[in-house]
Amino acid sequence: MHYLYLFIAIVGEVAGTTALKATEGFSKPLPTVFALACYGVAFFMLSLSLERFSIGVLYAVWSGLGIVLIAGFGWAVHGERLDAPALIGLGLIIAGVLTIHLFSASATH
């Protein structure tokens, strides 16, 4: 169940961050409410995940996957450019998340 909480937290964070562009500096009410609601869901689910995962590892996975997904969204939806160094960096983030998840005993407590 804790992996589902983490998944929902990541989706909420990605949706909220993606919606930030539409808020135009929090001047548009509907996108602002949506972004804040997404962040609320994200942090609530993240807090539920803390029952199983250590905070440092949990935050690394949450933020790392969020960065990669938001960069992908920016590329696919907003036409933002990802050059070779950006792609290499994103690959390293994925490698780090996988290393923690697959090989670290610190992942749970």
Is the pTM higher than 0.75? The answer reads yes
Q: CB–CB of 49/6 below 8 Å?
A: yes
The pLDDT confidence band at residue 1, using thresholds 50, 70 and 90, is confident
What are the tokens at 51?
């029952």
Q: CA angle 78-82-86, nearest 5°?
A: 135
51-93 pLDDT, tens digit each = 888 888 899 999 999 999 999 999 998 899 999 999 999 999 9
